[in-house]
Amino acid sequence: MPKITFMGAGSSVFAKNVLGDSMLTPALEESTIALYDIDAKRLQESHSMLEAINRNNGSKANIETYLGIPSRKEALRGANYVVNAIQVGLYDPCTITDFEVPKKYGLRQTIADTLGIGGIFRALRTIPVMLDFSRDMEEVCPDAWFLNYTNPMCALTGAMLRLTGVKTVGLCHSVQVCASGLLEGLGMPYDEGVQWKIAGINHMAWLLEITRDGQDLYPEIKRRAAARTEKHNDMVRYEIMKRFGYYVTESSEHNAEYMPYFIKGRYPELIERFNIPLDEYPRRCVRQIEQWEERGHELTNNPTLTHTRSHEYASYIMEAMETNRPIKIGGNVLNRGLITNLPSAAVVEVPCLVDKSGIAPTVIGDLPEQLAALNRTNINTQLLTIEAARTLKKDYIYQAAMLDPHTSAELSIDDIVSLCDDLIEAHGDWMPVYR
């Protein structure tokens, strides 16, 4: 049976989903599960919760815990699959820093985990940790698959694929729910007759086709979207679809900060018009912390705890590799001729076939040019962020921020450089020394 190592096991609810799924999968139910984290309390909470699920599933899995960096190599030793869900610097202090320092320059954000100045610095403090993981993996589990769930997806997955020899795929939630969420929001049924095709980059992939029994649904989708007049949470995505022709996979609050059109100090009325929730991610973090304080004891001390298999890709990928029964996923992989009008160094999100031989991505060809153009604006920043992490040169940080669509639309070059310097100082030891 395989060994599954979960990096960042203190992410208890997510660990419950991925590892609970694994324990409910016949091909994985007798796995050795290695839980790794640097927080003793959260590690123990996750262990207690998963042991309860395991007992109620016949105690088939073997669950081990590994605390702190000195034990990391042993947690990884002999692993077949490594699931990554770390958050370097957590909400306090690093997420707070990502939001509060830019505010001093008048730069407002919504999520700040993928692009924008917050996404850049989240990548810069996370890539070094993941490169440490890769060095251990190359020594003690060189054939393992690294299943990355941590954001910023493209920058982190790209760093692993370009700077290490570790087999890596990036996984997200947006692709699975994109088409169904769009149709449900417009009062259109989502059934077995609906077929769709999605490709692009993570959090800015495109619903290229959507049909029901061979009939194109886009004309009716666009008609209903234009007729919707009440305030709702999809307004940015509808506007993008109206102007560029296609629906984007990730939420409005995300995409509001991936482009230069929506969060603008000169046009404050746009925030209300498009229902954009500024500072949304800090609110979610606070809410999640409060909810865990309220519900954590119930989850971690419930001897009758059970689990229902979720839609997270991880267990399905591992099952397909173990059984050779293929599945299709939306995976984040290097663009080796897959989307032909995007850079080859970019990480793209495309349909992939998974079986015992590994992960085989689908060749898409050219995206509609306007969609590729939007993707490139994000890719520019992602590639320069990786270059900054690789070289430890400040100039690449400045250039990544200068090319970021939202940051560059709001700030001057001098202010961008000053903001980056302030963020480097505020992060302190959470980042390596840049020169």
Q: How do residues 181-195 score in pLDDT, each as one tens digit? A: 999 999 999 999 999
Is residue 58 domain-resident? Answer: no
Q: In the structure, what pLDDT confidence band is assigned to residue 121 with cuts at 50, 70 and 90?
A: very high
Is residue 45 domain-resident? Answer: no
Specify the pLDDT at position 334: 98
- Given a cut of 90, whether residue 272 has pLDDT beyond it is yes
> What's 332's domain CATH number?
3.90.1820.10
Specify the pLDDT at position 296: 78
Specify the pLDDT at position 292: 86
Average the pLDDT over 16-38 and give the result.
97
Specify the pLDDT at position 328: 97
Q: In the structure, what pLDDT confidence band is assigned to residue 295 with cuts at 50, 70 and 90?
A: confident
Q: How do residues 62-110 score in pLDDT, each as one tens digit? A: 999 999 999 999 999 999 999 999 999 999 999 999 999 999 999 999 9
Is residue 63 domain-resident? Answer: no
For residue 311, indicate whether it is catalytic.
no
Q: In the structure, what pLDDT confidence band is assigned to residue 3 with cuts at 50, 70 and 90?
A: very high
Specify the pLDDT at position 291: 87
Gyration radius from the chain CA atoms: 21
Q: In the structure, what pLDDT confidence band is assigned to residue 310 with cuts at 50, 70 and 90?
A: very high
Specify the pLDDT at position 169: 98
Specify the pLDDT at position 298: 79
Specify the pLDDT at position 201: 98
Is residue 259 domain-resident? Answer: yes
Q: 337: domain range?
A: 87-278+312-435
Is residue 64 domain-resident? Answer: no
Specify the pLDDT at position 207: 98
Catalytic residue among 173, 297, 307, 406: 173
- Given a cut of 90, whether residue 321 has pLDDT beyond it is yes
Q: In the structure, what pLDDT confidence band is assigned to residue 393 with cuts at 50, 70 and 90?
A: very high
Is residue 359 domain-resident? Answer: yes
Average the pLDDT over 295-316 and give the result.
88
pTM higher than 0.95, yes or no?
yes
Average pLDDT of the chain is: 97
Is residue 71 domain-resident? Answer: no
Average the pLDDT over 109-129 and give the result.
98
Average the pLDDT over 231-256 and give the result.
98
Q: In the structure, what pLDDT confidence band is assigned to residue 300 with cuts at 50, 70 and 90?
A: confident
**Domains in the chain, number:** 1
Is residue 129 domain-resident? Answer: yes
